[in-house]
């Protein structure tokens, strides 16, 4: 469940929602995994594709588009998107830093990591930097308890974090400048 | 050296590829089952093995399979629960990342026993990169004829697909997982009907944890009796333990069930003892949901017997002095850890992850979080500790799914075993400031 209230975002730069031919092909392949008439099963995987392709978040337009691909009512996409924490229902930065805050990461210093990033970027958790480069989120257990503390950015896990490693990661992400999404893995080494 | 059945080859370079996996005996169990065994014989081997669900509940797998309804003309499904979200647990990720073909072989084998021609691996969305590893492995398996039509010329057809979730702890509950797999919100279903009768798309379905399905591979290879020969009593075979927290060697360890807890924590074969020479304060032995135990009770039972890593020994004494093996998420805390603050962290987690269907869980988890927050802010009273106890007792057993119990047990056990610490916090708030890692609770809570 998202940490923020589910409201219709007031800003949306896109007016057109259309997957690229390659993404459309991926979507078709995914839909075929489910039996005839059960294409709704593809909703979550397709919302992932939409979030990756449409600027890292799901605007109502993006969700309507996914619903139309699957022959669903828009509300079916909204209610699902608002349930799962990986879907962003408001605009996010180019790189979303998701710091695990649960249990072992907590014991091993997740708070220090969060405070360090907040100080370095001049934002608090939940906010986006004014240049639109970084959004900082705190998230629940990501299954890296043995390599705590950790953060996720796009598909990549950054583990056994030290404050120096965090600095180096942020610098590299900044100089790289590309959007990091779950659906593609392009690891940045630190 | 302890016997390894799942992670024997986890450090072999290239073991994630089909070629290397097969050179180390991979897909031999599948070959054996499809050539020499009937589905009923595979099921019988699993029953003989005594294998119990490795996701946390510990329910006998053979019995669960035996419940599967088999109406004519209705497809049956196997769904692998790879939604690993229990705080402290990371074994399934390790297994899938290192040896994806072990899971895939287990999926086909189990599906053969169950008569399922389609299976899905439901993996949590945050493990997207692991999903890609699995998809690559599945593509290799199709190419080699290990998935698809007429596998090993047996006439058995099977398709296996990976399905990614999108971040919800509740989807590890099997009926919530099925809802999610059908493209809906992850709200657990009211049971009965159980998935064995009406599961995915209303069809008979078995949902098993990654490790459970992987364990079917060595069971078929060596026979159920050989598997049952490992371990103690009804805790047969090996178990993956995810060890984390204040220890020298965190990581995933495959243990033969029955290793003494003391050996597991202090031996260099496993956790390697406490980090920085600190003293052991408490352990959460089976993922965040199980009761926390203080050092003396985790090492020895109330009767003074050495505590073993088995379902029975860890549960010895009931909740008064015992805990559970759960998912094997073994979280170790040293003497500097604040139990109250750690509990607040867990409770915030459950509040965040409650699906909101049942009032006791939806409201109660939030109340418990608020009260713990108040205590940690230095404004708690002795009545708050009693109130916490009261709330947890009214969540446990009163919800559709076990998330309510999972939220209640850590609170109950922390108060039961560490009441003094709570009392200290409410009667002498200055003591809270002495605790390491006491920083801005607010922004962490609201972010």
Nearest-Cα residue of chain B relative to residue A156: B129
Banded pLDDT at A185 (limits 50, 70, 90): low
**Domain B235-334 has what CATH class?**
alpha beta
- Closest chain B C-alpha to A85 CA, distance in angstroms: 5
Listed in order, the ranges of chain B carrying CATH 3.10.20.600 are 235-334
Q: Is B4 on the interface with A (CB under 8 A)?
A: no
Provide, for chain B, the percentages of residues in helix, strand and coil under a 3-state DSSP scheme, each rounded to the nearest 5. 50, 15, 35
Residues facing B161 on adjacent strands? B120
Banded pLDDT at B296 (limits 50, 70, 90): very high
Banded pLDDT at B447 (limits 50, 70, 90): very low
Rounded-to-integer distance, Cα B326 and Cα B54, Å: 8
Mean pLDDT rounded to a whole number for chain B: 95
Rounded-to-integer distance, Cα B26 and Cα B17, Å: 10
Angle at B40 between CA B35 and CA B44, to 5 degrees: 105
Radius of gyration of chain B (CA): 22
Nearest-Cα residue of chain B relative to residue A185: B129
DSSP states of B317-374 = THHHH----TT-EEEEEETT--HHHHHHHHHHHHHHH--S-SHHHHHHHHHHHHHHHH
Nearest-Cα residue of chain A relative to residue B161: A33
- Closest chain A C-alpha to B304 CA, distance in angstroms: 29
Banded pLDDT at A9 (limits 50, 70, 90): very low
Parallel, antiparallel, or unpaired for β B159-164 and B280-284?
Answer: unpaired
| pLDDT of B320 strictly over 60 | yes
Which tens digit of pLDDT belongs to each residue from B145-201? 999 999 999 999 999 999 999 999 999 999 999 999 999 999 999 999 999 999 999
Nearest-Cα residue of chain A relative to residue B91: A143
pLDDT of the residue at B328: 96
pLDDT of the residue at B440: 46
Q: What stretches of A108-161 show up as alpha helix (H) in DSSP?
A: 110-121
CB atoms within 10 A of CB B58: 20
| pLDDT of A159 strictly over 90 | yes
Cβ–Cβ under 8 Å, residues B170 and B176: yes
Two structure tokens written together for B236: 């047969």
Q: Long-range pairs for B13-22 at CB < 8 Å and ≥24 separation?
A: B15/B98, B15/B99, B16/B97, B16/B98, B16/B99, B16/B100, B16/B101, B16/B133, B16/B137, B17/B140, B18/B101, B18/B137, B18/B140, B18/B141, B18/B144, B18/B146, B21/B99, B21/B101, B21/B102
Q: Is B84 on the interface with A (CB under 8 A)?
A: yes
Q: Flag if A125 and B447 touch (Cβ within 8 Å).
A: yes
Which one, of B190, B155, B182, lies nearest residue B39 by Cα?
Answer: B155
Which one, of B163, B180, B162, lies nearest residue B171 by Cα?
Answer: B180
pLDDT of the residue at B435: 58
Q: Which fold has domain B18-223?
A: Rossmann fold (3.40.50)
Residue whose tokens read 């805990």:
B323
Banded pLDDT at B126 (limits 50, 70, 90): very high
pLDDT of the residue at A189: 77
| Cis bond before residue A149 (omega within 30° of 0) | yes
Listed in order, the ranges of chain B carrying CATH 3.40.50.11540 are 18-223
Which one, of B293, B294, B285, B315, lies nearest residue B86 by Cα?
Answer: B285
Q: Is the dihedral of CA A58, A60, A65, A66 positive or negative?
A: positive
At B134, phi and psi to the nearest 5?
A: -65, -40
The percent of residues above 70 in pLDDT, for chain B, comes to 96
Cβ–Cβ under 8 Å, residues B415 and B182: no
The percent of residues above 70 in pLDDT, for chain A, comes to 92
CB proximity under 8 Å: A 96-155 to B: 101-104, 106-109, 111-112, 114-115, 118, 124-126, 136-148, 152, 155
pLDDT of the residue at B127: 97
- Closest chain B C-alpha to A161 CA, distance in angstroms: 14
**B53 contact partners, CB below 8 Å, separation of at least 6:** B59, B60, B61, B64, B208, B209, B212
Which one, of B360, B353, B392, lies nearest residue A3 by Cα?
Answer: B353
Parallel, antiparallel, or unpaired for β A95-100 and A151-153?
Answer: antiparallel
Cβ–Cβ under 8 Å, residues B279 and B295: yes
Residue whose tokens read 């958790």:
A125
Q: Flag if B90 and A146 touch (Cβ within 8 Å).
A: yes
Q: Flag if A107 and B342 touch (Cβ within 8 Å).
A: yes
Instruction: For residue B205, give the 3-state DSSP assignment.
Output: strand
Chain A residue numbers with beta carbons less than 8 Å from the beta carbon of B346 are: 102-103
Higher-scoring residue by pLDDT: B60, A3: B60
pLDDT of the residue at B1: 55
Cβ burial, residue A9 (10 Å; 0-12/13-18/19+):
middle
Q: Flag if A38 and B201 touch (Cβ within 8 Å).
A: yes
Instruction: For residue A96, give the 3-state DSSP assignment.
Output: strand
Q: Is A26 on the interface with B (CB under 8 A)?
A: no
Residues facing B329 on adjacent strands? B242
Provide, for chain A, the percentages of residues in helix, strand and coil under a 3-state DSSP scheme, each rounded to the nearest 5. 40, 10, 50
Chain B residue numbers with beta carbons less than 8 Å from the beta carbon of A79 are: 184-185
Chain B residue numbers with beta carbons less than 8 Å from the beta carbon of A152 are: 126
CATH number of the domain at B339-446, out of 3.40.718.10, 3.40.1160.10, 3.40.50.1820, 1.20.1440.230?
1.20.1440.230
Chain B residue numbers with beta carbons less than 8 Å from the beta carbon of A114 are: 443-444, 447
Greatest CA separation for chain B: 73
Q: Flag if A145 and B181 touch (Cβ within 8 Å).
A: no
Which tens digit of pLDDT belongs to each residue from B73-101? 999 999 999 999 999 999 999 999 999 99
Cβ–Cβ under 8 Å, residues B364 and B391: yes
Which tens digit of pLDDT belongs to each residue from A86-128? 999 999 999 999 999 999 999 999 999 999 999 999 999 999 9
CB proximity under 8 Å: A 60-79 to B: 70, 76, 79
**B4 contact partners, CB below 8 Å, separation of at least 6:** B238, B254
Which tens digit of pLDDT belongs to each residue from B372-430? 999 998 999 999 999 999 999 999 999 999 999 999 999 999 999 999 999 999 999 88
**B291 contact partners, CB below 8 Å, separation of at least 6:** B319, B322, B323, B324, B409, B410, B412, B413, B416
Listed in order, the ranges of chain B carrying CATH 1.20.1440.230 are 339-446
Q: Flag if B87 and A155 touch (Cβ within 8 Å).
A: no
pLDDT of the residue at A157: 96
> Between A and B, how many CB-CB pairs are < 8 A?
181
Banded pLDDT at A15 (limits 50, 70, 90): confident
| pLDDT of A42 strictly over 80 | yes
- Closest chain A C-alpha to B44 CA, distance in angstroms: 30
């Amino acid at each position: 469940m998202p940490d923020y209230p589910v409201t219709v975002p007031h800003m949306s730069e896109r007016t057109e929602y259309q997957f690229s031919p390659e993404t459309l092909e991926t979507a078709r392949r995914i839909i075929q995994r489910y039996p005839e008439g059960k294409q709704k099963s593809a909703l979550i995987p397709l919302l992932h594709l939409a979030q990756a392709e449409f600027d890292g978040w799901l605007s109502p337009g993006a969700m309507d588009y996914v619903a139309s691909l699957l022959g669903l009512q828009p509300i079916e996409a909204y209610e699902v998107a608002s349930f799962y924490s990986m879907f962003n229902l408001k605009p996010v930065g180019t790189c979303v830093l998701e710091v695990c805050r649960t249990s072992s990461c907590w014991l091993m210093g997740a708070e220090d990591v969060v405070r360090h990033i907040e100080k370095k970027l001049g934002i608090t958790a939940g906010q986006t930097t004014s240049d639109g480069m970084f959004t900082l989120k705190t998230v629940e257990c990501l299954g890296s308890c043995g390599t705590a503390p950790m953060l996720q950015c796009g598909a990549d896990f950054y583990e056994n974090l030290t404050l120096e490693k965090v600095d180096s990661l942020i610098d590299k992400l900044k100089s790289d400048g590309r959007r990091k999404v779950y659906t593609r893995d392009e690891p940045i080494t630190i | 050296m302890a016997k390894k059945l799942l992670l024997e080859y986890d450090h072999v370079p290239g073991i994630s590829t089909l070629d290397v996996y097969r050179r180390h005996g991979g897909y031999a169990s599948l070959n054996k089952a499809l050539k020499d065994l009937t589905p009923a014989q595979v099921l019988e081997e699993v029953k003989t093995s005594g294998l119990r669900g490795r996701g946390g509940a510990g329910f006998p797998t053979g019995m669960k399979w035996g419940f599967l309804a088999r109406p004519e003309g209705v497809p049956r499904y196997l769904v692998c629960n790879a939604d690993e979200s229990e705080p402290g647990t990371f074994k399934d990720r390790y297994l899938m990342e290192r040896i994806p073909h072990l899971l895939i072989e287990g999926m086909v084998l189990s599906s053969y026993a169950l008569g399922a021609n389609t299976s899905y691996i439901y993996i949590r969305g945050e493990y997207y990169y692991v999903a890609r590893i699995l998809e690559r492995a599945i593509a290799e398996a199709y190419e080699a004829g290990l998935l698809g039509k007429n596998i090993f010329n047996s006439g058995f057809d099977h398709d296996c697909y990976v399905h990614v979730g999108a971040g919800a702890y509740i989807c590890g509950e099997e009926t919530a997982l099925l809802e999610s797999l059908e493209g809906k919100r992850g709200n657990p279903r009211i049971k009965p009907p159980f998935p064995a009768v009406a599961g995915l798309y209303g069809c008979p379905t078995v949902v098993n944890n990654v490790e459970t399905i992987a364990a079917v591979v060595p069971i078929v290879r060596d026979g159920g009796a050989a598997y049952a020969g490992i371990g103690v009593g009804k805790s047969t075979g090996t178990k993956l333990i995810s060890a984390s927290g204040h220890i020298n060697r965190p990581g995933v360890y495959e243990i033969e069930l029955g290793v003494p807890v003391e050996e597991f924590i202090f031996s260099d074969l496993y956790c390697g003892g406490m980090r920085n020479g600190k003293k052991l304060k408490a352990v959460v032995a089976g993922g965040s949901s199980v009761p926390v135990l203080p050092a003396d009770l985790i090492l020895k039972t109330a009767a003074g017997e050495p505590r073993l890593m088995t379902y029975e020994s860890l549960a010895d004494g009931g909740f008064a002095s015992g805990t559970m093996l759960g998912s094997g998420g073994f979280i170790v805390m040293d003497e500097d850890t604040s139990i109250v603050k750690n509990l607040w962290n867990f409770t915030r987690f459950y509040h965040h992850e409650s699906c909101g269907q049942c009032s006791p869980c939806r409201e109660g988890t939030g109340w418990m979080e608020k009260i713990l927050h108040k205590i940690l802010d230095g404004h708690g009273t002795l009545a708050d500790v009693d109130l916490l106890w009261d709330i947890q007792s009214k969540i446990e057993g009163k919800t559709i799914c076990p998330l309510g119990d999972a939220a209640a047990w850590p609170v109950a056990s922390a108060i039961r075993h560490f009441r003094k610490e709570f009392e200290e916090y409410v009667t002498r708030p200055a003591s809270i400031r002495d605790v390491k890692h006491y920083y801005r609770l607010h922004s962490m809570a609201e972010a």
